[in-house]
Amino acid sequence: MKRDEAPLLSPARAMEARELGEKLARLRKARRLRQADAATRAGLARSTAVLIEKGDLSRTQAQILRYLEAIAPGVTLLSLLQESDPSLAALKARELTQRIRPLSKAELDELDF
């Protein structure tokens, strides 16, 4: 019988689990891997990968580390938390909105303080 860990953790710790899942999801997207492929590499079901990325508290440490290794071999948990992987920087650059056209004279005047 599975045990519900949520009541045993403070809200701050539960938030940390969600943030870890979000960071794993961002790293997977930065490495351009499908969730199903990452799960297969880790020896997990895709449904387990979904739960890991949601920050589910009932996932084991081994499952999380296997999933990290499947996404980015050699990347440590510490470097994931610090977001020091170059692929994350590339993803952030791709996500930035870029101006297509220069500002007009009226738009520049409107922004003049």
DSSP string, 39-76: HHHHT--HHHHHHHHHT-TTS-HHHHHHHHHHHSTT--
CA torsion through residues 58, 63, 69, 70, sign? negative
Question: Average pLDDT, stretch 33-54?
Answer: 96
Task: Dump pLDDT digits (tens) for 47-85.
Answer: 999 999 999 988 999 999 999 999 999 999 999 999 888
- The domain tally of the chain equals 1
Residue 102, domain member (yes or no): yes
Domain containing 72 equals 6-111
Residue 58, domain member (yes or no): yes
| 6, 49 contact by CB (below 8 A) | no
Domain containing 79 — which CATH number?
Answer: 1.10.260.40
Confidence band, pLDDT 50/70/90 cuts, at residue 36: very high
Question: Rounded to the nearest 5 degrees, what angle is found at the Cα of 48, between the Cα atoms of 25 and 10?
Answer: 75
DSSP 7: G
Residue 1, domain member (yes or no): no
Q: Which is more confident, 12 or 112?
A: 12
Mean pLDDT of the chain: 89
Say yes or no to pLDDT of 112 above 80: no
Give the pLDDT score at 94: 86
Residue pointed to by tokens 């890991």: 52
Confidence band, pLDDT 50/70/90 cuts, at residue 95: confident
